[in-house]
Structure 1
């Protein structure tokens, strides 16, 4: 790959926060020993946890003066928990012990006399943060929505988990987020969303995002961050925004885990299990999940073609089904080298199988009176894919709070293959055909990232980072037509394709944050050097694309009280063409509506601005805002018709897209038995292109609502509704989509288990309709899922200690 010079950044390499507080009156009596040391007394002891009095590594010990709690001295325990504090002036003290994952502990009444210079405190027992004495404490759930300076944080609680099998189910319950007909996330009803998993690109886990999201068990997720105007720290891609899915991390000692099994209608089943264990400096977590999927659908298309004098009308009616199986497994090990350095390694593996079939009836009539062309096209396809991902992360903490250096790396490799067989039946001999399509894809990618956070003062922070991502993709699509003479398949070079794709992205960013009692500010700049090599091997054509982009961001906040604030945000975004959008392979699975990539695509640039108010407390709150998105050189699908009435759909750069409106999200607990959350928006959307003769403008509205109700006998019911209103697309209008789900659950076995019953798409209303109108054709189309999903799910949680951010057993 062609390399170009890039900016060189110099990273400056220049703790503990008490999580809960307890007093210990049960420390062993101190052993006093005469000592002749003239320069002060000495304290020794050992920090342990029960059972077994196991030493706790690297606990922080502070010696406080009894009279005013000022810091007199301190130390850090060694890897076995032993500590010593020398040169202690005679007097009365309190010993404070802190360590990540444990309650802060105070040992009072420590007397250091002038005569007895060595004081052995013996074993000092500290308790995990979720445990007090011998009880398990169930933590209160966090506020569902937290409004940060440049993102909305949605904490995943028990209510959301009980009605969600996977990450796709969770995303539908997140304010402002929805899924399109293929399962890809949308923000404010629009695609082009970057999805990260723990800050890393989701494509490291596989090539098909909907499959990745369906494979990830919901109970592994701690929170979901939604950024509609992301700061320069995050990916510059994603015209609609960034979604970062944060998984649970085990920070405290103990064992915890869970099992989940779900039986669903029409063979939609899934099962998963996860376990985490931590002792001393080492923590291990592992999970495994499997799923079977079965979806049926129908589609209709009606099109009038008037590109020539002999106008024609196409009518299509189709049905089909998609079946699939997938498995996902992950294992991770984290190791605390000492109190300031930690290391984590992990491996993820996924495998997917799909089996699809469809039946598409085509009927074309002509105004000239020519005979109607009618044929039925049968399709049977199957595919297999697998992906392997390795992660290595390092974190270094410095003495002052929030001062840290992180390094993350990830390497991923995967491959997929598939084959499709088309049998076209017709009474017209020229329309009869049998075809075969064989597909093969191999890919690998490397991701490297380093972030340095420096709290310059208590209220000012500088963060800098370097990031590089390199990937390679090799696609082979071979198409064959069956010879009527020999009955064997003959290779068709006209629609076959061998496509090679490589890209390399080198990025540096810097953000500066400043806070006062009333004001907050975060400004940033992201610089990206992007190289793209495209090789159309089948036609011996190769070319390189290179560009440099600047992505600035700015966020301002003004406090109006303890929880209320005003916000003003701006961010510039870039949408670079994806490999599938560029691949010129022609998909003829529907011979009347073919699709192809466009290797001439250019990047799309978007300016995003928001101004809003938010007020969130533990019981709930709301956050209304005004927003505007303006895209230049916008990438969208364009459909053209040739004189035979066949359409070609490609991604293309059109003129501009503009969207502006009012949005609000909210969450609230009412009467202690009802929790609601959701979002709603009213907005104007415009798509304009003088070159393509497009001028489409509409007002639209959308919203979603989640409700969780506590019923007698410890039952809980839930309901979810989502409506995406009509909106303008490049050549017409996408009609509104309504979805409703509901469920009921009961906790069992002293709240260690949950049994739930859920129904998705109650009214079978998940129908996607569009209307296209141009100078050469007019078209109405429908795609709709036709099977309602009903499932019964049992979950069991075990362990006395909860994972960070998770639900307690």
Structure 2
């Protein structure tokens, strides 16, 4: 790999105006009488391109990215390393404004390496980039390198998540991995304390042009929070490692039934020890989704037999936001950083629901007009300090986080009976309004210690404490006469919730040999939660949980490996799920939160196999999982003709899954990334008064992302993305087939990228549900206005130069990468 980088650098240097010379170094091998485990040495001389000795060149020798020793060349340019063992080593030469040079040495006997440093290595204003495979696999995660794909142009982060292998999402902001719900989102290894619709709106407002990768962590190690049964999505942004000012400006317009626009600007300035970065964005997202519902009531119902609801929505979401961060390197061992983030969401929606009720001998038509206004804003700040203890990789980090989420949800609903002959209103059946101010205040402190003992042993320890204060006030009012509103005390409530989670963890890594390695971890958490409904304490819990994790890796060769993983997690209800606020479709159909939801526990055991060759990279993953006290959004018929949907702890779920991912460069102009998921799921439980669940189902989905290079000279590329999820059943909800498609054409002109795309060309990306609740049958079909065409412009600007000082990985990172 290192030779590959050097070869690219040399080939590129021939194309620029500065005259380039080839690197010359001579390896003189002296055979000694003793080899094997004898003490060996490396000696040599460093010269410039005129073959004059260079004094005070820093020469460093590494073994598997762990530094072994440093030395400086003497007055005649000589250096030496003694008492070395037979092994593979990397030698780094650093001098003044000359580029570091890295030859690889396979040391079997005493060796002489003479090296020539040249000014040509500066690569004046040229940066050699290496494209990673679209998919790479590590011991605990699958990495989707989105920066090397076209899907980042003109998209937001939520759009990219929806196209990430193994990942699916719902319209209400729930993220699933391998068909399991409850995924938690991290940004640059820091958890984002948002969920549901708030998380979707936040990620949907951030442009994707600055994305580097998305890491799908199905079995998170113990150092991560135990939250999230499906695992973790870690969103990684690009980091600028060059000095100077660089930036990106992007504009996009998407046409569905209505038009949406977005603009963003990212800047990064690095000078010496200071790095400052910021992103500002503004999006205006408009959609006109359509929903249809049919309800067949029990035959024993002497009145209503059938109800059909067609809902036509029109919403606009304006999302302004920005972040500002800075890192400052006090010295070689101390770094401090600060990051401030603000995001807003101004959501205005009008919903018209036409309801047809069919009785035995008659029928009636009602129309419900809903108007929703949801305004929210999120402020967060992170303070970070890192102390590098030594060159081996020992490091101590501290993080202090604070987040404030404020939302105001106001809704007005009016239902009129309609004359079926004239379609004019006959009379007003009811009119009501609701308001739900919500404030979430979250603070946390975290400390982590990375402690490599030697090349093969390391351990991590850490602690975290977080406090969350949630305040929801639901005000429900009925209109008794024109402009006269009366409080409905039965449907109004005041809900407050406090939660304190304290955790400690330990993690141990051990590389037994070049083939065998393992990791063992445990996380202990204490949770104290208290909740008040109408000022009456309804939640008072203090409980402990232990979450063990274990990984065992066997590498038959450099390109083939097996990993056995065991993990345990917990899924806590989102703060929005706990909010008892109701969202009405009609006056007799609504969604509501549940303040009495319990957390669910999740256990997973998986074995994965990875093989890489010239034909591509293949990863196979087999897993079993058990979820206890799972909660899911379920319908019920509490009284008469009322249909209520709310998340409920219904019982347990048992799953068996098989995931296959394949990446290949089929032709120089054709790259393929594909994923196949198959699973068997058994759910058992009950909810409401007498609704039993005992369902067995198979899940099957396939996806393919193909990238075509039409012309390198003209900078033309094309992408075709297809994903199909076949019919399946989750709990008691049968889900119909869903086909998602996207075609993207990109033209590159220097630093300018022009992207034209089309999504959901076949208009097949729909939610289709069929639910049986005892004698009650419900059928839904929801279309979220996804068929669209979009035009996006992205321009990179600024000037940067290669830094004199190289960023190096710590010794601990090498051990973790091998795991």
With the length of structure 2 as denominator, give the TM-score of the two structures. 0.82
User: How far apart in 2 are the matches of 1:617 and 1:475?
Assistant: 55
- Alignment partner, residue 381 of structure 1: 372
Q: 1:675 aligns with which of 651, 671, 691?
A: 671
Cα deviation for residue 345 of structure 1 reads 0.9
- Alignment partner, residue 220 of structure 1: 210
- Alignment partner, residue 493 of structure 1: 489
User: How far apart in 1 are the matches of 2:446 and 2:685?
Assistant: 39
User: How far apart in 2 are the matches of 1:205 and 1:320?
Assistant: 23
Q: Does the 8 Å CA contact 1:235/1:242 hold for their aligned counterparts?
A: no
> Is 1:469 equivalent to 2:466 in the alignment?
yes
SS in 1 for 2:718: strand
Cα deviation for residue 696 of structure 1 reads 1.0
Q: Does the 8 Å CA contact 2:466/2:501 hold for their aligned counterparts?
A: yes
Q: Does the 8 Å CA contact 1:687/1:728 hold for their aligned counterparts?
A: no
Q: Does the 8 Å CA contact 2:48/2:118 hold for their aligned counterparts?
A: no
SS in 2 for 1:426: strand
User: How far apart in 2 are the matches of 1:787 and 1:639?
Assistant: 26
Tell me: CA distance 1:415–1:26, structure 2 relative to 1, closer, same or farther (3 Å). Answer: farther
Tell me: CA distance 1:637–1:667, structure 2 relative to 1, closer, same or farther (3 Å). Answer: same
- Alignment partner, residue 37 of structure 2: none
Q: Does the 8 Å CA contact 2:154/2:252 hold for their aligned counterparts?
A: no
- Alignment partner, residue 440 of structure 1: 437
- Alignment partner, residue 758 of structure 1: 757
Q: Does the 8 Å CA contact 2:288/2:785 hold for their aligned counterparts?
A: yes
Q: What does 1:29-44 correspond to in 2, within 5 Å? A: none
Q: 2:477 aligns with which of 472, 477, 480?
A: 480
Cα deviation for residue 156 of structure 1 reads 2.4
User: How far apart in 2 are the matches of 1:555 and 1:170?
Assistant: 29
For residues 128-166 of structure 1, give each alpha carbon's deviation from its aligned partner in whole angstroms, at most 9, with x where no partner exists: 9xx834241331212222211111122222324554521
Q: 1:414 aligns with which of 405, 423, 429?
A: 405
User: How far apart in 2 are the matches of 1:490 and 1:802?
Assistant: 67
Q: 1:291 aligns with which of 258, 276, 283?
A: 283
Q: Does the 8 Å CA contact 2:680/2:698 hold for their aligned counterparts?
A: yes
Cα deviation for residue 618 of structure 1 reads 8.7
User: How far apart in 2 are the matches of 1:156 and 1:724?
Assistant: 22
SS in 2 for 1:457: coil
> Is 1:25 equivalent to 2:16 in the alignment?
no
> Is 1:601 equivalent to 2:597 in the alignment?
yes
Cα deviation for residue 29 of structure 1 reads 8.3
User: How far apart in 1 are the matches of 2:259 and 2:551?
Assistant: 48
User: How far apart in 2 are the matches of 1:476 and 1:790?
Assistant: 41
Tell me: CA distance 1:651–1:414, structure 2 relative to 1, closer, same or farther (3 Å). Answer: closer
- Alignment partner, residue 32 of structure 2: none
- Alignment partner, residue 812 of structure 2: none
Cα deviation for residue 326 of structure 1 reads 0.6
Q: What does 1:482-631 correspond to in 2, within 5 Å? A: 482-484=479-481, 486-515=482-511, 516-537=513-534, 540-616=536-612, 620-631=616-627
User: How far apart in 1 are the matches of 2:57 and 2:654?
Assistant: 67
Q: Does the 8 Å CA contact 1:248/1:803 hold for their aligned counterparts?
A: no
SS in 2 for 1:138: coil
User: How far apart in 1 are the matches of 2:238 and 2:802?
Assistant: 7
> Is 1:70 equivalent to 2:61 in the alignment?
no
For residues 609-637 of structure 1, give each alpha carbon's deviation from its aligned partner in whole angstroms, at most 9, with x where no partner exists: 11121124698411011111211222122
> Is 1:338 equivalent to 2:331 in the alignment?
yes
- Alignment partner, residue 166 of structure 1: 156
SS in 1 for 2:331: coil
Q: Does the 8 Å CA contact 1:163/1:758 hold for their aligned counterparts?
A: no
For residues 157-191 of structure 1, give each alpha carbon's deviation from its aligned partner in whole angstroms, at most 9, with x where no partner exists: 23245545211122123210122223432212332
Tell me: CA distance 1:218–1:687, structure 2 relative to 1, closer, same or farther (3 Å). Answer: same
Root mean square deviation, CA, Å: 3.2
User: How far apart in 1 are the matches of 2:611 and 2:154?
Assistant: 27
User: How far apart in 2 are the matches of 1:137 and 1:655?
Assistant: 56
Cα deviation for residue 30 of structure 1 reads 9.1
- Alignment partner, residue 639 of structure 1: 635
SS in 2 for 1:791: strand
Q: Does the 8 Å CA contact 1:205/1:348 hold for their aligned counterparts?
A: no
User: How far apart in 2 are the matches of 1:162 and 1:336?
Assistant: 31
Q: Does the 8 Å CA contact 2:474/2:580 hold for their aligned counterparts?
A: no
Deviates more, 1:540-549 or 1:313-322: 540-549
Deviates more, 1:639-648 or 1:562-571: 639-648
For residues 673-706 of structure 1, give each alpha carbon's deviation from its aligned partner in whole angstroms, at most 9, with x where no partner exists: 0111121111112211267421111112012211
For residues 732-754 of structure 1, give each alpha carbon's deviation from its aligned partner in whole angstroms, at most 9, with x where no partner exists: 31222111011101110xx3111
> Is 1:190 equivalent to 2:180 in the alignment?
yes
User: How far apart in 2 are the matches of 1:229 and 1:510?
Assistant: 16
Q: What does 1:230-379 correspond to in 2, within 5 Å? A: 230-265=220-255, 266-306=258-298, 308-310=300-302, 312-367=305-360, 369=361, 371-379=362-370
Cα deviation for residue 714 of structure 1 reads 2.8
SS in 2 for 1:268: strand
Tell me: CA distance 1:563–1:398, structure 2 relative to 1, closer, same or farther (3 Å). Answer: farther
Cα deviation for residue 789 of structure 1 reads 2.2
For residues 53-81 of structure 1, give each alpha carbon's deviation from its aligned partner in whole angstroms, at most 9, with x where no partner exists: xxxxxxx9731578995349xxxxxxxxx
Cα deviation for residue 720 of structure 1 reads 0.8
Cα deviation for residue 247 of structure 1 reads 2.1
Cα deviation for residue 432 of structure 1 reads 1.9
Q: Does the 8 Å CA contact 2:154/2:755 hold for their aligned counterparts?
A: no
User: How far apart in 1 are the matches of 2:582 and 2:786?
Assistant: 31
Q: Does the 8 Å CA contact 2:57/2:95 hold for their aligned counterparts?
A: no
Q: What does 1:79-158 correspond to in 2, within 5 Å? A: 96-97=93-94, 103-104=99-100, 132-158=122-148
User: How far apart in 2 are the matches of 1:401 and 1:215?
Assistant: 41
Tell me: CA distance 1:636–1:743, structure 2 relative to 1, closer, same or farther (3 Å). Answer: same
Cα deviation for residue 125 of structure 1 reads 11
Q: 2:394 aligns with which of 390, 403, 421?
A: 403
User: How far apart in 2 are the matches of 1:26 and 1:798?
Assistant: 34
- Unaligned runs of at least 5 residues, structure 1: 1-18, 32-42, 48-59, 73-93, 108-123
- Alignment partner, residue 780 of structure 2: 781
Cα deviation for residue 433 of structure 1 reads 2.2
SS in 2 for 1:140: coil
- Alignment partner, residue 115 of structure 1: none
SS in 2 for 1:213: helix
User: How far apart in 1 are the matches of 2:180 and 2:801?
Assistant: 37
Q: Does the 8 Å CA contact 2:56/2:95 hold for their aligned counterparts?
A: no
SS in 2 for 1:218: coil
User: How far apart in 1 are the matches of 2:755 and 2:144?
Assistant: 22
SS in 2 for 1:250: coil
Q: Does the 8 Å CA contact 2:299/2:305 hold for their aligned counterparts?
A: no
Cα deviation for residue 796 of structure 1 reads 1.0
User: How far apart in 2 are the matches of 1:592 and 1:470?
Assistant: 38
User: How far apart in 2 are the matches of 1:229 and 1:559?
Assistant: 19
User: How far apart in 1 are the matches of 2:541 and 2:132?
Assistant: 46
Tell me: CA distance 1:420–1:527, structure 2 relative to 1, closer, same or farther (3 Å). Answer: same
- Unaligned runs of at least 5 residues, structure 2: 10-22, 24-45, 60-68, 83-90, 104-115, 419-424, 807-819
User: How far apart in 2 are the matches of 1:253 and 1:714?
Assistant: 27
SS in 2 for 1:512: strand
Q: Does the 8 Å CA contact 2:153/2:208 hold for their aligned counterparts?
A: no
Q: Does the 8 Å CA contact 1:585/1:596 hold for their aligned counterparts?
A: yes
Q: What does 1:653-802 correspond to in 2, within 5 Å? A: 653-689=649-685, 692-712=691-711, 713-748=714-749, 751-801=750-800
Instruction: Give the number of aligned pairs.
Output: 719
